[in-house]
């Protein structure tokens, strides 16, 4: 049994992750974490009435000797310290929270190396999103003119999404940086052309009714290619989280991207 702590269990993704761990035959929920929680036991919440596991509000309460994996769906302000805590206490992190800077990732990877422990930071746990990033990287070898549109619910805190940035990074690995479009173009409304990542434009849409969606648009003389993925329900991410929890024990370093465990 893989023993799991879920951080951010009161959020939408954390709630689904908690249910996934409970329902999985090979996982055992040994605790949940949220500094704002008032409960002492998860069973105090009606939907988890049958599960008498501890609710932790601070790190000092956590018995890390009883945990193998730390699932994190919290907030950008907390993800760095949460991941660092897990690594330093021998708990393998599976991080779905966005907001880590490149420098923070490098620092966390160094801690993992020193502690000889593996983990995973995943911009997206949806298998369709992981495949989209891989397909986009292949397409960019032949279609260097590309823009990204990501669409999410209107409660999302960060823009662009971690998935869009990860997609741009993967494309940049194989694409020669160059200026797209008219070199003399001017924005008559600031921001109309979107954010810029190494010459690629990223556009963020925030509307009610959406969950998580992304399009990567490639253009070339006389033709175009669009790659799109849609996540209509947050439950779609749980299969990827389950794969990560099951396989992260084989990781020898702090990996970035679910594709590294597939």
Tell me the three-class secondary structure of 56-113, residue by residue. ECCHHHCCHHHCCEEEECCCHHHHHHHHHHHHHCCCEEEECCCCCCHHHHHHHHHHHH
145 to each of 125, 166, 221, 223, how far by Cα in Å?
A: 27, 17, 10, 12
Angle, in degrees to the nearest 10, between helices 76-88 and 102-115: 10
Mean pLDDT across 41-52: 96
CATH 3.40.50.720 fits 2-117, yes or no: yes
Domain limits, the chain: 2-117, 127-231
The first and second tokens of residue 116, run together, are 């000889």
- Mean pLDDT is lowest, of 44-48, 174-178, 191-195, 212-216, for 174-178
* Pairwise CA distance, residues 8 & 180, whole Å: 40
Q: Is the pLDDT reported for residue 118 higher than 90?
A: yes
Tokens 């190494």 map to which residue? 198
Q: What confidence tier does 224 reach under pLDDT thresholds 50, 70, 90? A: very high
Report the pLDDT value the prediction gives residue 258, as an integer from 0 to 100.
93
Task: Give the closest residue to 228 by CA, choosing from 174, 183, 169, 164.
Answer: 164
Mean pLDDT of the chain, nearest integer: 95
23 is in an annotated binding site: no
Was 204 annotated as part of a binding site? no
Would you place residue 234 in the very low, low, confident or very high pLDDT band (cuts 50, 70, 90)?
confident
Helix (H) / strand (E) element for 197: namely strand 195-197
Query: How many angstroms separate the CA atoms of 238 and 214, rounded?
Result: 18
The pLDDT confidence band at residue 158, using thresholds 50, 70 and 90, is confident
What span, in angstroms and rounded, lies between the C-alpha atoms of 27 and 214? Answer: 31
The answer on whether 27 is annotated among ligand-binding residues is no
Range 127-231: architecture per CATH: 2-Layer Sandwich (3.30)
Residue 116, annotated ligand binder?
A: no
In this prediction, residue 213 has a pLDDT band, given cuts at 50, 70 and 90, of: very high
The token pair at 206 is 């925030």
Residue 122 assigned ligand-binding role: yes
Give the span between the Cα atoms of 103 and 31, in whole angstroms: 30
CA–CA separation, 257 and 105 (whole Å):
12
The verdict on whether omega for the bond into residue 21 sits within 30 degrees of 0, i.e. cis, is no
Band (115; pLDDT cuts 50, 70, 90) = very high
Q: What 3-state class would DSSP assign to 213? A: strand
**How many other C-beta atoms can be found within 10 angstroms of the C-beta atom of residue 116?**
9
CB atoms within 10 A of CB 3: 16
Query: Nearest to residue 194, comparing CAs of 152, 147, 129?
Result: 147
- Which of 126, 158, 145 has its CA nearest to residue 232? 126
Terminal Cα-to-Cα distance of the chain (whole angstroms): 20
Confirm whether residue 167 is marked as ligand binding.
no
User: What are the structure tokens assigned to 81, written together?
Assistant: 């310290």
Residues annotated as catalytic are 152, 156
Q: Phi and psi at residue 166, in whole multiples of 5°?
A: -60, -40
Q: Which residues contact 243 (CB under 8 A, 6 or more apart)?
A: 258, 261, 262
Q: Which residues contact 91 (CB under 8 A, 6 or more apart)?
A: 5, 64, 67, 68, 69, 70
Mean pLDDT of 26-52: 96
Confidence of residue 28 (pLDDT cuts 50, 70, 90): very high
Chain centre distance of CA 151: 15
């Amino acid at each position: 049994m893989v023993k799991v702590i879920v951080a951010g269990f009161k959020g939408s993704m954390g709630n689904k992750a908690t249910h996934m761990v409970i329902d999985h035959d090979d996982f055992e929920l040994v605790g949940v974490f949220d500094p704002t929680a008032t409960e002492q036991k998860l069973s105090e919440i009606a939907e988890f009435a049958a599960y008498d596991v501890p609710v932790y509000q601070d790190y000092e309460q956590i018995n890390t000797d009883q945990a193998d994996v730390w699932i994190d769906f919290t907030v950008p302000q907390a993800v760095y310290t949460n991941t660092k805590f897990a690594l330093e206490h021998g708990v393998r992190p599976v991080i779905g929270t966005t907001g880590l800077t490149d420098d923070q990732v490098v620092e966390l990877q160094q801690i993992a190396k020193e502690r000889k422990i593996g983990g995973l930071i995943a911009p997206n746990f949806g298998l369709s999103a992981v495949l989209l990033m891989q397909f986009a990287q292949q397409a960019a070898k032949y279609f260097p003119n590309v823009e990204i549109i990501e669409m999410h619910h209107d409660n999302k805190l960060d823009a662009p999404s971690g998935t869009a940035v990860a997609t741009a990074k993967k494309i940049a690995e194989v694409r020669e940086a160059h200026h797209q479009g008219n070199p003399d173009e001017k924005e008559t409304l600031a921001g109309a052309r979107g954010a810029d990542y190494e010459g690629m434009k990223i556009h963020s849409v925030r509307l009610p009714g959406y969950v998580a969606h992304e399009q990567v648009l490639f253009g070339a003389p006389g033709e175009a290619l669009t790659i799109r993925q849609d996540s209509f329900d947050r439950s779609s991410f749980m299969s990827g989280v389950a794969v990560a929890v099951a396989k992260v024990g084989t990781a020898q370093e702090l990996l970035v991207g679910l594709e590294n465990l597939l």
